[in-house]
Amino acid sequence: MTDQKRLTTTAGAPMPTNEHSLTAGNRGPVLMQDYQLIEKLAHQNRERIPERVVHAKGWGAKGKLTITNDISMYSRAKIFSEVGKTTEVLSRWSTVAGELGAADAERDVRGFSFKFYTEEGNWDMVGNNTPVFFVRDPYKFPDFIRTQKRHPVTNLRSPEAMFDFWAAQPESVHQVTILMSDRGIPTNPMHMNGYGSHTFSTWNAAGERFWVKFHFKVQQGHKHYTNQEAETLIGKTRESYQEDLYNAIDEGNFPKWKMMIQVMPEEEAATLPFNPFDVTKVWSHKDYPLIEVGMVEMNENPENYFMYVENAAYSPSNVVPGIGFSPDKMLQGRIFSYADAHRYRLGTHYEQLPANQAKNADVNFYHKDGSMRFFPPKTGHVDAYYEPNQYAESAKADPSVAEPPLKIDGDAARYDPADPDADYVQPRALYAEVMNDEERGRLHSNMASAMGPCSDSVKERWYAVLRKVHPDYEAGVRKAVEDDVNAISVTDDTPVEV
């Protein structure tokens, strides 16, 4: 006998064949006692789990963060404790609206998630390739996502729904401008920035709190496809990101991002003319300069896609001592939503799957049974399945990791934004000051293609939003829509050769 591995059942019994059903006679029907055939077919029927309700299509890699600058004056998190320190990372990038089989090179915002396996637990940075978001209140998130998904009658994506919603939602115009700009179709995840987008908090060893925004600056340079380039590419392959990313890492070309932060002292938030907890706004780089933290390098393809990328469960609720939340309403909504999604999509003990295990931390908790209870109790003592208890070895809470108290005051109410005109200021800066003429031209034409199928009333409502950003923006998109319509009617009039 060689050292050839023997095929077995899942219960470990050696299998005589993996090809021939047990039949009554050479041509006869299958016997029910061929349990391994039933097992094989039954497993196939259970190979799929629900796809993510958003961000279903994704690509991932393993890597590390190396700290290059001391920021311990802002955060006591151990991940930042010394220059040169490295921490393992699992990344997942994604498109927002596409389903699992969607083409990679579609125009969409890209998800940008890092799971840092720190020695004080997993810290998940679940961001996007854009610094802002479409809406600022979690009440609006499910409605927004419905406009991105299939129409209930046609079962098609609906530009009418998208622009109808955005036109009633001027806070969206900042993010929609980025989406329709060159950055709306990165050539692959290795050519885009990442942003935590929300304002988070950090606190240092002295208990001082800071408000912080996280940035991940791409080191390979920004690269994007035009609509036409993307259409041609999708005609050839729908999996261009997976191919590019997997092959780059396989060939040793490891993509990198410089991690940077913007920092605001806690008290300053109350003195500002704008709301620093509004995820539809950035903090100006001039007022809050970027501070270097470290370098993220992705250098390993996961040994199994499903096990590490599909099973990855990212959640903004996963923070570690020294990193915390902020009053941002959207962030507060997300703190509930993700773990709830994971319990539904993956199961009760999803944090114990290899992708999600806090493998560099000493993990102890009292959650007891339920589906996926495939690991021994982690309470420190076999009889300690409740707390408080008499057992010295059992896990106890550590008050030294408590966040400094946060003063919150104000009347409980449902507030409108103080200054709706503020929604136009930052998209105006992006349009008029950051973009050049060529970029503005492509923005006009990309937006015209996207809104071309909309009704005139939706178009007019959206033009009114663009006008408030900048009159040239409205004029440029209006002209591009009209040019497109004329181009279509010229084509329609062209005699068809038979």
Which of ligand NDP, ligand HEM, none binds 141 (CB below 5-8 Å, type-dependent)?
ligand HEM
**Strand 200-203 vs strand 110-118: parallel, antiparallel, or unpaired?**
unpaired
Q: CB nearer to ligand NDP: give 274 or 305.
A: 274
Q: And the tokens for 42?
A: 């039954």
Q: Which does 337 bind (CB under 5 to 8 A by kind): ligand NDP, ligand HEM, none?
A: ligand HEM
**According to CB under 6 A, which one of 147, 148, 181, 379 is a site residue for ligand NDP?**
181
Residue 179, CA distances (Å) to 270, 337, 399 in order: 31, 24, 44
* Helical residues (DSSP H) of 12-105, grouped into ranges: 35-45
338 annotated as a binding-site residue = yes
Exposure string for 234-256, b = 16+ CB within 10 A, e = fewer: beeebebbbebbbebbeeeebbb
Say how many residues make up the chain.
498
Least Å distance between CB 231 and ligand HEM? 25
In the complex, least distance from residue 145 CB atom to ligand HEM, rounded to whole angstroms:
8
Query: In the complex, what is the shortest distance from the CB of residue 152 to ligand NDP, in angstroms, rounded to a whole number?
Result: 32
Residue 110 interacts with, from ligand NDP, ligand HEM, none (CB under 5-8 Å by kind) = none
Taking residues 94 to 133 in sequence order and writing x for each that binds ligand NDP by CB under 6 A, - otherwise, the string is: -------------------------------------x--
Binding at 334: pick from ligand HEM, ligand NDP, none (beta carbon under 5-8 Å per type): ligand HEM
Of 284, 304, 364, 457, the one binding ligand NDP by CB under 6 A:
284
- DSSP code at position 14: B
Nearest distance from residue 97's CB to ligand HEM, in Å? 11
**Amino acid identity of 183?**
R
The residues of the shown chain that bind ligand HEM, judged by CB under 6 A, are 52-55, 58, 92, 94, 111, 113, 126-128, 133, 138, 141, 197, 279, 312-314, 330, 333-334, 337-338, 341-342, 345
Region of 380 please: left (phi>0), alpha (psi -120 to 50) or beta.
left
Q: Is the dihedral of CA 65, 124, 253, 229 positive or negative?
A: negative
In angstroms, rounded to a whole number, what is the distance separating the alpha carbons of residues 232 and 135? 32
Shortest distance, CB of residue 429 to ligand NDP, whole angstroms? 4
Please tell me whether residue 206 binds ligand NDP under the rule CB under 6 A. Answer: no
- Which tokens in the block code for residue 30? 């299958």
d(CA 385, CA 402): 24
One of 6, 27, 286, 407 touching ligand NDP (CB under 6 A): 286
Residue 294, phi then psi, degrees to nearest 5: -175, -170
Question: Which residue is listed with tokens 């998940």?
Answer: 124
Q: Is 161 in the site for ligand NDP (CB under 6 A)?
A: no
Question: Cα–Cα distance between 144 and 169 in angstroms, integer?
Answer: 10
Residues that bind ligand NDP (CB under 6 A): 131, 178, 181-183, 193, 217, 282-286, 426, 429-430, 434
Task: Please enumerate, by residue number, every residue annotated as part of a binding site.
Answer: 338
